[in-house]
Structure 1
């Protein structure tokens, strides 16, 4: 390292040479991804490109055929389809997840409800909520333990404009505190928000140039 230079940050999430096939159908063919603390990364691909497969592998819910994924820190995972119990209320979901993460109280959950603008639904059964509000709860549960890395699968689904803006305010706060956010999507709005944009094509990730050259990380 040159005198006076800043050491490179230690990646909080790294995937190397990830391969995954379903039967004889290869989906990932050597995907590489490196995410540093505080970065906002988008993985963009068409339907069927393998985005959800990659996200499940990054989340540790799907094994690789070859390659490795290294996580340094805690992980939050928000799948595209909310995994919720229709008969339980929003508050009950918060209590169950807080207990699972051994959190002392529901303070962070209630703060997130306020940030996302759905605190009035605390006593409502999930089965009575709109799709957008269920997605807000899904996002809240993935952030309840304040993870170091947040993985999001199509996070804008069901969000109105106000919620979309609240979502980005939340992401800005996470990044300011050194948290990394990885968004898996088929369409990227406001590309300049992202530090890294990577296209998933033919089972591999290819970086795009963004305006944030100073924050670039290898893909």
Structure 2
């Protein structure tokens, strides 16, 4: 994915630029605000979800982002990847982003292999490199036998594996994961953390959002999102 940034000029006025994050970080978000508005005037309602959230990731850092349902975790994640515009604040990124949304973004009639081929073209990966990484991800997550299976015929757990594998395909410098192990069995859960550790050792940053953190020792830091702010 391309680098992106939102730079505040005044409250609720956002300009788009292309500033990289500082050398010590691969992702730097500051003062991020987001308001959701519903209905029409004069009964239009506004809800301020993010009230100046800050988040920084360093190379090789694994960070957990936790908060209650409706706290704005997924909203913040979407802003970080550029899928949603912030109303204020800045987001700067060094390198490639990989994003694993909570709900898999797949095409029902395509097989797993066809998804790899499609996403590889989007990432501009050479065919040989895509085939090599595909084999590694099939083996690492244990779903190679479903290579020729259409997405609408996959179980929820296997669909979650495909969702994660597609985010890992371009070897991103920053990997953003929204509830990535929902639906994983215990064996896949352990394989997931092996992949995370490999990314840490390779100097890649990983952000994982969840309702709660089990295995807190696996993280370098835990960031709490409460009342629209990170703590």
Instruction: Indicate which of 112, 121, 124 corresponds to 1:102.
Output: 124
Residue correspondence of structure 1 range 9-88 to structure 2 within 5 A? 10-23=24-37, 24-88=46-110
Give 1:67 shift.
0.7
CA distance in 2, matches of 1:102, 1:199: 35
Give 1:9 shift.
5.9
Alignment gaps of 5+ in structure 1: 1-7, 207-219
SS at match of 1:139: helix
Alignment gaps of 5+ in structure 2: 1-21, 38-45
**1:87-113 CA-partner distances (Å, limit 9, x unpaired):** 111001011111121212221022111
**1:21-48 CA-partner distances (Å, limit 9, x unpaired):** 1122100001011110000001101100
Decide whether the 8 Å contact of 1:9 with 1:36 is kept in 2.
no
CA distance in 2, matches of 1:101, 1:66: 29
CA distance in 2, matches of 1:187, 1:87: 34
Decide whether the 8 Å contact of 1:38 with 1:177 is kept in 2.
yes
- Counterpart position of 2:230: 205
- Counterpart position of 2:166: 141
- Counterpart position of 1:119: 144
CA distance in 2, matches of 1:14, 1:110: 33
CA distance in 2, matches of 1:180, 1:62: 21
Stretch deviating more after TM superposition (95-104 or 134-143): 95-104
Decide whether the 8 Å contact of 1:9 with 1:37 is kept in 2.
no
CA distance in 1, matches of 2:86, 2:110: 34
CA distance in 2, matches of 1:134, 1:103: 22
Computed over aligned residues only, the root mean square deviation of the Cα atoms, in angstroms, reads 1.1
CA distance in 2, matches of 1:19, 1:85: 32
CA distance in 1, matches of 2:23, 2:133: 28
Q: TM-score, normalised to structure 2's length? A: 0.84
- Counterpart position of 1:215: none
Number of equivalent positions: 199
CA distance in 2, matches of 1:54, 1:101: 23
CA distance in 2, matches of 1:16, 1:193: 25
